[in-house]
Structure 1
Amino acid sequence: MKNISLLIAILLSQFGFCQNFQSEFLKYCQTKDTLNQLRTLEEWKKINPNDPELYTSYFNYHFSKSRKEVIALTTDQPNGQSLVIKDSLNKTAGFLGSEIHYDKSELQKGISKIDEGIKNYPNRLDMRFGKIYVLGQTKDWQKFTSEIIKTIQYSSKNKNNWTWTNNETRKDGENFFLSALQDYQLQLYNTGDNKLLDNMKEIANEVLKFYPNHIESLSNLSITYLLTKEYDKALVPLYKAEKLNPKDYILLSNIAQAYKLKGEKQKAIEYYKKTIEFGDDRAKKYAKQQITELKK
């Protein structure tokens, strides 16, 4: 009995230490004290080298350290705030603004740590999403896509029984997971790079392998075809999605748009009328405008 009590005491003591290390690390993150961040991580590693929060903390440390902001003079206006440089004729000669660069060596240290964490704790969705976030920030779109697909495939194995920080269970596992995938698809779309439509298509198709009735992925797939002017291909997933939810006015509007682009005015009008029937005020207004244009 004494031995059992001693074991429980040791485990509780270690848990307390890890909690303190985590709080201490976060405190130094807020003050951007990298020296004490590293010192805390090294002490933490000695006490509990397999603590899942240690992996995420090392990952955050290396990612933050890899991020470098530099001031640069460019001819194209950078994202965010910038200073316009004028020439002697008061014409815009360039822009002075900040650019973010990432140290590849430091970044890889962080990726290696989170990969180790994912291997040991495959159900920790925050680790997987953290890695995907960083790959998106560094615009490594191929690895970004690959990591999303790996996570989709694993979701079918663990049935979306995900955990999060401090191994807390995600009660809304599947909905939360699929909703996040939409954000990643939007991230690819917002780049405006048509080459990444293939990445969007790959992700949508992978989701549909395991979640064939996921309306958002059916819609995403159709959009990739619409943007490449493959209208008949776009209509296939749209019609499937319509059968699943015939009152989804966004889908109905997309079907109308596909027919409009195909030059089939009557079919386009038919679906814009359905959009008016089920849509919100904004959708109704847009559909009415489109019908007016098509009837000219």
Structure 2
Amino acid sequence: MKKILFLIAILLTQVGFCQNFQSEFLKYCQSKDTLNQLKVLEEWKKSNPNDSELFTSYFNYHFSKSRKEVIELTTNQPNGQSLVLKDSLNKTAGFLGSKIHYDQKEVKKGLVKIDEGIKLYPNRLDMRFGKIYALGQILDWNNFTLEIIKTIKYSATNKNNWTWTNNETRNSTEKDFLLDIQTYQMQLYNTGNDELLKNMREIANEVLKYYPNHIESLSNLSITYLLAKKYDKALEPLLKAEKLDPKDYIVLSNIAQAYNLKGEKQNAIKYYEKTLEYGDERAKKYAKQQITELKK
């Protein structure tokens, strides 16, 4: 009995040390004291090299350290705040603004650490999402996509029984997980880069491999074909989505648009009328305008 109590005491002491390291690290993160951050991480590694929070902390340390803000003079207005420079005729000559640059060596160090963490703790969704976030920030869209696909695949293995910080159970559903994946899909779409349509398509197809009735992914898949002017290919997933939910006005509106672009006016009107029946005010207004145009 004494041996058991002694073992419990050791375990509790180790947990206490890990929590102290974690709180110390966070304290130095807030003060942006990178020297003491590294000191804590090195001591933490000696004490408990396989602590899950050590890997996320190392990742945060390297990724934060990689981020550099530089002042840049450009002829095009940059995102965010900028200073407008005028010439002698009071015409805009350029813009002075800040640009975020990432030190690739530091990024790589962070990615190595988070990969070690994911290998030891494959159910830690925050580790996976943290890596995806970083890849998106450095605009590494191919690895961004690959990491999302890996996460989707693993969601089928662990049945979406994910954990989060401190290995606590993440009380979320399959629907919540797919909503997160949808956010990443929109991140790709919002770049406005048509070359990334294939990345969206790969993710949508991977989702549908395991969740064949996911309407949002069916819609995403159709959008990649619509923008590529492959209207018949776009209609296939949309018509499947309509069977799953005949009242989804976004799907109905997209079907109408596909038929419209394809030149099939009667089918386009038919689906715009369905949009009028089930859509919100904005969708109804747009559908009404399109019907008027198509009937001219």
CA distance in 2, matches of 1:174, 1:30: 34
The residue correspondences of 1:65-144 to structure 2 (distance < 5 A) are 65-144=65-144
CA distance in 2, matches of 1:90, 1:226: 45
- Give RMSD over aligned pairs: 0.9
| DSSP 3-state at the match of 1:69 | strand
CA distance in 1, matches of 2:271, 2:158: 40
- Amino acid of the structure 2 residue aligned with 1:267: N
| DSSP 3-state at the match of 2:284 | helix
Equivalent residue for 1:45?
45
Equivalent residue for 1:289?
289
Query: 1:141 Cα shift?
Result: 0.5
Equivalent residue for 2:162?
162
Query: 1:176 Cα shift?
Result: 2.1
1:71–1:98 CA contact under 8 A, matched in 2: yes
Is 167-176 or 202-211 further displaced after alignment? 167-176
- Amino acid of the structure 1 residue aligned with 2:128: R
CA distance in 2, matches of 1:292, 1:74: 45
TM (norm. structure 1) is: 0.98
Query: 1:131 Cα shift?
Result: 0.3
Q: Which runs of 4+ in 1 moved over 2 A?
A: none
- Amino acid of the structure 1 residue aligned with 2:271: Y
Query: 1:91 Cα shift?
Result: 2.0
Equivalent residue for 2:146?
146
Equivalent residue for 2:182?
182
- Map Cα deviations across residues 47-92 of structure 1 (whole Å, 9 max, x no partner): 1111101100100000000000000101111111111112222222
1:162–1:173 CA contact under 8 A, matched in 2: no
CA distance in 1, matches of 2:259, 2:92: 43
- Amino acid of the structure 2 residue aligned with 1:293: E
| DSSP 3-state at the match of 1:172 | coil
1:249–1:275 CA contact under 8 A, matched in 2: yes
CA distance in 2, matches of 1:192, 1:91: 30
- Amino acid of the structure 2 residue aligned with 1:200: M
| DSSP 3-state at the match of 2:152 | helix
- Map Cα deviations across residues 19-49 of structure 1 (whole Å, 9 max, x no partner): 1211121121111111111111111112111
Is 8-17 or 22-31 further displaced after alignment? 22-31
The residue correspondences of 1:216-227 to structure 2 (distance < 5 A) are 216-227=216-227
CA distance in 2, matches of 1:48, 1:173: 32
Query: 1:173 Cα shift?
Result: 3.8
How many aligned positions are there? 296
CA distance in 2, matches of 1:145, 1:91: 43
CA distance in 2, matches of 1:176, 1:28: 33
CA distance in 1, matches of 2:116, 2:253: 45
CA distance in 2, matches of 1:163, 1:248: 33
Query: 1:132 Cα shift?
Result: 0.4
| DSSP 3-state at the match of 2:247 | coil
Structure 1: segments with no counterpart, 5+ residues:
none
The residue correspondences of 1:139-288 to structure 2 (distance < 5 A) are 139-288=139-288
- Map Cα deviations across residues 240-291 of structure 1 (whole Å, 9 max, x no partner): 0000010000000000111111111111111111111111111111111111
TM (norm. structure 2) is: 0.98
Query: 1:106 Cα shift?
Result: 0.8
Equivalent residue for 2:13?
13
Query: 1:171 Cα shift?
Result: 2.2
1:70–1:98 CA contact under 8 A, matched in 2: yes
| DSSP 3-state at the match of 2:78 | coil
